[in-house]
Protein backbone atom coordinates (compact mmCIF):
# COMPACT_ATOMS: atom_id res chain seq x y z
CA UNK A 1 0.00 0.00 0.00
CA UNK A 2 1.54 3.30 -1.11
CA UNK A 3 0.94 6.66 0.51
CA UNK A 4 0.87 9.90 -1.43
CA UNK A 5 1.33 13.17 0.48
CA UNK A 6 -0.21 16.32 -0.88
CA UNK A 7 0.14 19.69 0.82
CA UNK A 8 -3.09 21.65 0.79
CA UNK A 9 -3.40 24.84 2.81
CA UNK A 10 -3.28 24.03 6.50
CA UNK A 11 -3.34 20.26 6.16
CA UNK A 12 -1.56 17.33 4.59
CA UNK A 13 -3.81 14.82 2.86
CA UNK A 14 -2.31 11.36 2.78
CA UNK A 15 -4.28 9.21 0.39
CA UNK A 16 -4.17 5.45 0.48
CA UNK A 17 -6.04 3.23 -1.96
CA UNK A 18 -6.48 -0.03 -0.15
CA UNK A 19 -4.94 -2.95 -1.91
CA UNK A 20 -5.03 -4.98 1.25
CA UNK A 21 -7.76 -3.74 3.30
CA UNK A 22 -8.86 -3.24 6.48
CA UNK A 23 -10.10 -1.35 9.43
CA UNK A 24 -11.98 -1.00 12.76
CA UNK A 25 -15.41 -0.01 12.39
CA UNK A 26 -17.28 1.69 15.18
CA UNK A 27 -20.23 -0.20 16.69
CA UNK A 28 -22.71 2.22 15.11
CA UNK A 29 -21.02 2.04 11.70
CA UNK A 30 -23.37 2.13 8.73
CA UNK A 31 -21.59 1.02 5.56
CA UNK A 32 -22.99 1.91 2.16
CA UNK A 33 -24.58 -1.23 0.83
CA UNK A 34 -23.27 -3.23 -2.09
CA UNK A 35 -25.26 -6.12 -3.51
CA UNK A 36 -26.15 -7.86 -0.25
CA UNK A 37 -29.50 -9.63 0.18
CA UNK A 38 -31.66 -8.74 3.16
CA UNK A 39 -31.25 -10.84 6.31
CA UNK A 40 -33.26 -14.06 6.61
CA UNK A 41 -36.54 -14.18 8.46
CA UNK A 42 -35.81 -15.04 12.09
CA UNK A 43 -38.50 -16.58 14.29
CA UNK A 44 -37.66 -14.76 17.51
CA UNK A 45 -39.09 -11.88 19.53
CA UNK A 46 -35.84 -9.99 19.05
CA UNK A 47 -32.41 -10.67 17.60
CA UNK A 48 -29.11 -9.15 16.51
CA UNK A 49 -26.05 -10.25 14.53
CA UNK A 50 -22.82 -8.35 15.28
CA UNK A 51 -19.23 -8.63 14.10
CA UNK A 52 -16.91 -9.11 17.06
CA UNK A 53 -13.92 -7.11 15.81
CA UNK A 54 -15.60 -4.14 14.18
CA UNK A 55 -18.80 -4.03 16.19
CA UNK A 56 -20.84 -3.63 13.03
CA UNK A 57 -24.44 -4.84 13.22
CA UNK A 58 -25.28 -7.00 10.19
CA UNK A 59 -28.89 -7.84 11.05
CA UNK A 60 -31.33 -6.93 13.80
CA UNK A 61 -34.97 -6.76 14.79
CA UNK A 62 -36.33 -5.24 18.00
CA UNK A 63 -32.76 -5.30 19.25
CA UNK A 64 -33.36 -2.43 21.70
CA UNK A 65 -36.65 -3.65 23.16
CA UNK A 66 -36.65 -4.84 26.77
CA UNK A 67 -36.92 -8.59 27.07
CA UNK A 68 -36.25 -11.25 29.67
CA UNK A 69 -32.73 -12.71 29.50
CA UNK A 70 -33.43 -15.89 31.48
CA UNK A 71 -30.11 -17.73 32.00
CA UNK A 72 -28.29 -15.43 29.56
CA UNK A 73 -27.95 -13.46 32.80
CA UNK A 74 -25.15 -15.83 33.73
CA UNK A 75 -22.92 -14.28 31.06
CA UNK A 76 -22.80 -11.19 33.27
CA UNK A 77 -22.43 -13.30 36.42
CA UNK A 78 -19.37 -14.89 34.82
CA UNK A 79 -18.00 -11.55 33.64
CA UNK A 80 -18.13 -10.00 37.11
CA UNK A 81 -16.41 -13.02 38.68
CA UNK A 82 -13.74 -13.15 35.96
CA UNK A 83 -12.92 -9.52 36.75
CA UNK A 84 -12.56 -10.38 40.43
CA UNK A 85 -10.22 -13.24 39.55
CA UNK A 86 -8.18 -11.00 37.23
CA UNK A 87 -7.90 -8.40 39.99
CA UNK A 88 -6.47 -11.06 42.31
CA UNK A 89 -9.34 -10.85 44.79
CA UNK A 90 -10.03 -14.56 44.49
CA UNK A 91 -8.52 -17.71 43.02
CA UNK A 92 -10.08 -20.49 41.00
CA UNK A 93 -8.95 -22.89 43.73
CA UNK A 94 -10.73 -21.01 46.54
CA UNK A 95 -13.38 -23.09 48.30
CA UNK A 96 -17.02 -21.94 48.48
CA UNK A 97 -19.46 -23.29 51.06
CA UNK A 98 -22.85 -24.13 49.54
CA UNK A 99 -25.62 -22.41 51.50
CA UNK A 100 -29.10 -23.81 51.98
CA UNK A 101 -30.47 -21.02 49.81
CA UNK A 102 -28.17 -21.96 46.94
CA UNK A 103 -28.97 -25.66 47.43
CA UNK A 104 -32.72 -24.99 47.26
CA UNK A 105 -32.60 -22.97 44.02
CA UNK A 106 -35.20 -24.01 41.48
CA UNK A 107 -34.64 -24.44 37.76
CA UNK A 108 -31.49 -25.84 36.18
CA UNK A 109 -29.02 -27.11 38.77
CA UNK A 110 -25.52 -28.51 39.17
CA UNK A 111 -26.69 -30.55 42.19
CA UNK A 112 -24.40 -28.97 44.76
CA UNK A 113 -24.98 -30.43 48.23
CA UNK A 114 -25.72 -28.05 51.10
CA UNK A 115 -22.81 -27.50 53.45
CA UNK A 116 -20.18 -28.88 51.08
CA UNK A 117 -17.22 -26.87 49.89
CA UNK A 118 -16.71 -26.53 46.15
CA UNK A 119 -13.85 -24.80 44.26
CA UNK A 120 -14.66 -21.58 42.43
CA UNK A 121 -13.58 -23.16 39.13
CA UNK A 122 -16.04 -26.05 39.53
CA UNK A 123 -18.86 -23.64 40.33
CA UNK A 124 -18.05 -21.53 37.28
CA UNK A 125 -18.08 -24.53 34.98
CA UNK A 126 -21.28 -25.77 36.58
CA UNK A 127 -22.87 -22.38 35.89
CA UNK A 128 -21.50 -22.02 32.34
CA UNK A 129 -21.98 -25.58 31.06
CA UNK A 130 -24.88 -26.87 33.16
CA UNK A 131 -26.47 -23.43 33.72
CA UNK A 132 -26.66 -24.28 37.41
CA UNK A 133 -28.72 -21.79 39.41
CA UNK A 134 -27.33 -23.28 42.61
CA UNK A 135 -23.79 -22.64 41.39
CA UNK A 136 -24.70 -19.07 40.39
CA UNK A 137 -26.14 -18.20 43.78
CA UNK A 138 -23.25 -19.85 45.63
CA UNK A 139 -20.80 -17.72 43.66
CA UNK A 140 -22.80 -14.53 44.21
CA UNK A 141 -22.93 -15.17 47.95
CA UNK A 142 -19.24 -15.93 48.13
CA UNK A 143 -18.15 -12.85 46.18
CA UNK A 144 -20.60 -10.27 47.53
CA UNK A 145 -22.13 -11.75 50.68
CA UNK A 146 -25.53 -12.02 49.02
CA UNK A 147 -27.25 -12.12 45.65
CA UNK A 148 -28.77 -8.64 46.03
CA UNK A 149 -25.38 -7.01 46.53
CA UNK A 150 -23.92 -9.07 43.69
CA UNK A 151 -26.73 -7.84 41.40
CA UNK A 152 -25.65 -4.26 42.13
CA UNK A 153 -22.15 -5.18 40.94
CA UNK A 154 -23.69 -6.64 37.80
CA UNK A 155 -25.56 -3.39 37.15
CA UNK A 156 -22.42 -1.32 37.68
CA UNK A 157 -20.61 -3.44 35.13
CA UNK A 158 -23.53 -3.23 32.70
CA UNK A 159 -23.37 0.56 32.91
CA UNK A 160 -19.59 0.52 32.33
CA UNK A 161 -20.09 -1.59 29.18
CA UNK A 162 -22.76 0.71 27.78
CA UNK A 163 -25.65 -1.71 28.34
CA UNK A 164 -28.22 1.06 28.64
CA UNK A 165 -31.27 -1.21 28.31
CA UNK A 166 -30.35 -3.73 31.00
CA UNK A 167 -31.10 -4.16 34.70
CA UNK A 168 -30.37 -7.17 36.89
CA UNK A 169 -31.90 -8.21 40.23
CA UNK A 170 -30.37 -11.68 40.50
CA UNK A 171 -27.43 -13.78 39.30
CA UNK A 172 -29.49 -16.58 37.73
CA UNK A 173 -32.02 -15.03 35.38
CA UNK A 174 -35.13 -16.21 37.21
CA UNK A 175 -38.08 -14.00 36.22
CA UNK A 176 -38.61 -10.63 37.89
CA UNK A 177 -40.33 -7.49 36.49
CA UNK A 178 -37.13 -5.49 37.11
CA UNK A 179 -34.83 -8.06 35.50
CA UNK A 180 -34.49 -7.31 31.79
CA UNK A 181 -32.09 -6.76 28.91
CA UNK A 182 -32.00 -6.22 25.13
CA UNK A 183 -30.50 -8.22 22.29
CA UNK A 184 -28.01 -5.42 21.62
CA UNK A 185 -26.89 -5.32 25.24
CA UNK A 186 -26.33 -9.07 25.27
CA UNK A 187 -24.15 -8.75 22.17
CA UNK A 188 -22.14 -5.95 23.79
CA UNK A 189 -21.65 -8.05 26.92
CA UNK A 190 -20.58 -11.11 24.96
CA UNK A 191 -18.15 -9.05 22.91
CA UNK A 192 -16.58 -7.80 26.15
CA UNK A 193 -16.43 -11.30 27.63
CA UNK A 194 -14.58 -12.74 24.62
CA UNK A 195 -12.25 -9.73 24.39
CA UNK A 196 -11.41 -9.38 28.07
CA UNK A 197 -11.26 -13.03 29.18
CA UNK A 198 -10.27 -15.22 26.21
CA UNK A 199 -8.87 -18.01 28.39
CA UNK A 200 -12.01 -18.33 30.50
CA UNK A 201 -14.24 -17.89 27.45
CA UNK A 202 -12.97 -21.28 26.23
CA UNK A 203 -15.09 -22.93 28.93
CA UNK A 204 -18.20 -21.96 26.96
CA UNK A 205 -17.28 -24.58 24.35
CA UNK A 206 -17.31 -27.47 26.88
CA UNK A 207 -20.00 -29.91 25.76
CA UNK A 208 -20.58 -31.71 29.05
CA UNK A 209 -19.60 -31.42 32.68
CA UNK A 210 -19.78 -33.90 35.55
CA UNK A 211 -20.26 -33.03 39.20
CA UNK A 212 -21.49 -35.18 42.07
CA UNK A 213 -21.42 -38.18 39.68
CA UNK A 214 -24.02 -36.47 37.50
CA UNK A 215 -23.07 -35.65 33.91
CA UNK A 216 -25.03 -32.92 32.14
CA UNK A 217 -24.70 -31.73 28.57
CA UNK A 218 -24.36 -28.15 27.42
CA UNK A 219 -27.76 -27.04 26.14
CA UNK A 220 -26.20 -25.13 23.24
CA UNK A 221 -26.95 -27.54 20.39
CA UNK A 222 -24.81 -25.55 17.98
CA UNK A 223 -21.68 -26.89 19.70
CA UNK A 224 -22.51 -30.20 18.00
CA UNK A 225 -24.11 -28.91 14.80
CA UNK A 226 -21.68 -26.17 13.75
CA UNK A 227 -17.95 -26.74 14.21
CA UNK A 228 -17.20 -23.01 14.03
CA UNK A 229 -19.35 -22.28 17.11
CA UNK A 230 -17.50 -22.08 20.44
CA UNK A 231 -20.14 -20.60 22.77
CA UNK A 232 -21.88 -18.96 24.41
CA UNK A 233 -25.01 -19.47 26.58
CA UNK A 234 -28.59 -20.67 26.48
CA UNK A 235 -31.54 -19.43 28.48
CA UNK A 236 -35.13 -20.44 29.05
CA UNK A 237 -38.10 -19.67 31.22
CA UNK A 238 -41.78 -19.95 30.37
CA UNK A 239 -42.12 -16.19 30.08
CA UNK A 240 -38.79 -15.52 28.30
CA UNK A 241 -39.08 -18.34 25.79
CA UNK A 242 -35.97 -20.07 24.48
CA UNK A 243 -32.93 -17.80 24.09
CA UNK A 244 -29.39 -18.26 22.81
CA UNK A 245 -26.27 -16.17 22.52
CA UNK A 246 -23.92 -17.86 20.04
CA UNK A 247 -20.48 -16.99 18.73
CA UNK A 248 -18.59 -18.54 15.84
CA UNK A 249 -15.30 -17.97 14.06
CA UNK A 250 -14.38 -18.65 10.43
CA UNK A 251 -11.20 -17.59 8.65
CA UNK A 252 -10.37 -15.05 11.34
CA UNK A 253 -13.84 -13.46 11.31
CA UNK A 254 -15.88 -13.82 14.51
CA UNK A 255 -19.62 -13.17 14.72
CA UNK A 256 -21.97 -12.91 17.70
CA UNK A 257 -25.67 -13.71 17.37
CA UNK A 258 -28.39 -13.17 19.96
CA UNK A 259 -31.91 -14.59 19.62
CA UNK A 260 -34.50 -13.93 22.32
CA UNK A 261 -37.89 -15.58 22.73
CA UNK A 262 -37.93 -18.47 20.25
CA UNK A 263 -40.39 -21.35 20.45
CA UNK A 264 -38.08 -24.19 21.47
CA UNK A 265 -34.57 -25.61 21.89
CA UNK A 266 -34.26 -26.61 18.24
CA UNK A 267 -35.67 -23.30 17.08
CA UNK A 268 -33.19 -21.17 19.02
CA UNK A 269 -30.31 -23.20 17.56
CA UNK A 270 -31.78 -23.13 14.06
CA UNK A 271 -32.43 -19.38 14.04
CA UNK A 272 -28.98 -18.63 15.46
CA UNK A 273 -27.32 -20.84 12.85
CA UNK A 274 -29.31 -19.05 10.17
CA UNK A 275 -28.03 -15.65 11.30
CA UNK A 276 -24.41 -16.79 11.57
CA UNK A 277 -24.54 -18.37 8.11
CA UNK A 278 -25.87 -15.15 6.62
CA UNK A 279 -23.09 -13.10 8.17
CA UNK A 280 -20.26 -15.39 7.04
CA UNK A 281 -21.70 -15.82 3.55
CA UNK A 282 -22.22 -12.17 2.65
CA UNK A 283 -19.71 -10.18 4.74
CA UNK A 284 -16.02 -10.15 5.59
CA UNK A 285 -13.94 -8.32 8.19
CA UNK A 286 -10.31 -7.32 7.87
CA UNK A 287 -7.77 -5.32 9.81
CA UNK A 288 -6.03 -2.45 8.06
CA UNK A 289 -3.85 -1.02 10.80
CA UNK A 290 -2.63 -2.26 14.14
CA UNK A 291 -2.76 -0.18 17.29
CA UNK A 292 0.28 2.11 17.68
CA UNK A 293 1.63 1.15 14.24
CA UNK A 294 3.47 4.05 12.61
CA UNK A 295 1.33 5.14 9.66
CA UNK A 296 3.13 8.36 8.84
CA UNK A 297 6.20 10.33 9.92
CA UNK A 298 5.58 14.07 9.67
CA UNK A 299 7.54 17.27 10.19
CA UNK A 300 7.30 18.80 13.64
CA UNK A 301 8.52 22.37 14.07
CA UNK A 302 10.48 23.99 16.90
CA UNK A 303 11.19 20.62 18.52
CA UNK A 304 14.35 18.89 19.69
CA UNK A 305 13.87 16.54 16.70
CA UNK A 306 12.23 17.18 13.33
CA UNK A 307 10.14 14.02 12.91
CA UNK A 308 6.97 12.84 14.65
CA UNK A 309 5.43 9.38 14.15
CA UNK A 310 1.65 9.15 13.93
CA UNK A 311 -0.59 6.12 14.33
CA UNK A 312 -3.89 4.89 15.74
CA UNK A 313 -4.74 4.23 19.40
CA UNK A 314 -6.55 0.96 18.58
CA UNK A 315 -6.65 -1.70 15.87
CA UNK A 316 -8.67 -0.50 12.92
CA UNK A 317 -11.14 -3.03 11.45
CA UNK A 318 -13.92 -2.82 8.93
CA UNK A 319 -16.75 -5.16 8.07
CA UNK A 320 -18.00 -4.84 4.48
CA UNK A 321 -19.90 -6.83 1.84
CA UNK A 322 -17.89 -9.81 0.68
CA UNK A 323 -16.09 -9.19 -2.60
CA UNK A 324 -16.17 -5.39 -2.37
CA UNK A 325 -12.66 -4.96 -1.00
CA UNK A 326 -11.52 -2.75 -3.85
CA UNK A 327 -14.32 -0.26 -3.18
CA UNK A 328 -12.64 0.92 0.03
CA UNK A 329 -10.45 3.99 0.26
CA UNK A 330 -8.40 5.37 3.13
CA UNK A 331 -7.32 8.97 3.61
CA UNK A 332 -5.17 10.44 6.35
CA UNK A 333 -5.63 14.10 7.24
CA UNK A 334 -2.75 15.53 9.24
CA UNK A 335 -2.60 18.92 10.91
CA UNK A 336 -0.06 21.37 9.52
CA UNK A 337 1.98 22.87 10.97
CA UNK A 338 2.61 20.76 14.06
CA UNK A 339 4.48 22.78 16.67
CA UNK A 340 6.46 21.26 19.56
CA UNK A 341 6.05 20.26 22.29
CA UNK A 342 4.04 17.18 21.36
CA UNK A 343 2.69 14.77 23.97
CA UNK A 344 2.49 11.05 23.33
CA UNK A 345 -1.12 10.20 22.55
CA UNK A 346 -2.02 13.75 21.46
CA UNK A 347 -4.31 13.94 18.43
CA UNK A 348 -2.91 15.43 15.21
CA UNK A 349 -5.40 14.33 12.57
CA UNK A 350 -7.54 11.40 11.52
CA UNK A 351 -7.77 8.35 9.29
CA UNK A 352 -10.97 8.42 7.25
CA UNK A 353 -12.37 5.39 5.42
CA UNK A 354 -14.92 5.59 2.61
CA UNK A 355 -16.80 2.80 0.87
CA UNK A 356 -18.23 3.46 -2.58
CA UNK A 357 -17.61 7.13 -1.90
CA UNK A 358 -19.55 7.17 1.37
CA UNK A 359 -17.80 7.84 4.71
CA UNK A 360 -17.91 4.86 7.04
CA UNK A 361 -15.42 5.41 9.84
CA UNK A 362 -12.93 7.95 11.16
CA UNK A 363 -10.26 7.23 13.76
CA UNK A 364 -7.92 9.75 15.44
CA UNK A 365 -4.26 9.94 14.44
CA UNK A 366 -2.16 10.31 17.56
CA UNK A 367 1.49 10.99 18.33
CA UNK A 368 3.31 7.73 18.99
CA UNK A 369 6.17 9.49 20.75
CA UNK A 370 6.67 12.69 22.69
CA UNK A 371 8.76 15.54 21.27
CA UNK A 372 10.06 18.21 23.60
CA UNK A 373 10.46 21.82 22.65
CA UNK A 374 13.81 22.55 20.99
CA UNK A 375 16.50 24.95 22.19
CA UNK A 376 16.55 28.65 21.32
CA UNK A 377 18.50 28.14 18.11
CA UNK A 378 16.24 25.31 16.87
CA UNK A 379 13.13 27.34 17.57
CA UNK A 380 14.54 30.45 15.87
CA UNK A 381 15.61 28.55 12.75
CA UNK A 382 12.21 26.86 12.43
CA UNK A 383 10.46 30.18 12.91
CA UNK A 384 12.28 31.49 9.84
CA UNK A 385 11.55 28.33 7.85
CA UNK A 386 7.88 28.53 8.75
CA UNK A 387 7.78 32.14 7.56
CA UNK A 388 8.97 31.03 4.13
CA UNK A 389 6.49 28.13 4.19
Catalytic residues: 71, 74, 131
Strand partners, 382: none
Instruction: Give the HSE-up count for residue 379: Cα atoms under 13 Å, Cβ half-sphere.
Output: 8
Ranges of H-type helices in 73-164: 73-86, 100-103, 120-129, 133-144, 147-160
- Separation CA 79–CA 168 (nearest Å): 14
- Separation CA 305–CA 372 (nearest Å): 8
Ranges of H-type helices in the chain: 73-86, 100-103, 120-129, 133-144, 147-160, 183-196, 198-201, 222-225, 265-282, 376-388
12-50 per-residue burial string, b: 16 or more CB within 10 A, e: under 16: bbbebebeebbbbbeeebebeeeebeebeebbbbbbbbb
Amino acid sequence: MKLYVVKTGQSFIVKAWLALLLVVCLPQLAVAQAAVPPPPEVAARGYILMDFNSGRVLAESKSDERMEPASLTKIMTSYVIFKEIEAGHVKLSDMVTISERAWRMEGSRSFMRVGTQVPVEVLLKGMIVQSGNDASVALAEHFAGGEEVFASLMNQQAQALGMSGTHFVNATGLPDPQHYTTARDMALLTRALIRDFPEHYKWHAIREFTYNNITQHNRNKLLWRNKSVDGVKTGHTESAGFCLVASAQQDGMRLISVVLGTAGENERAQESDKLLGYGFRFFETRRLYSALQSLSTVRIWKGEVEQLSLGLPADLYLTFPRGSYNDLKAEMRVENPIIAPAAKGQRYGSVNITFLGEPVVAQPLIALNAVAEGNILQRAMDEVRLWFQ
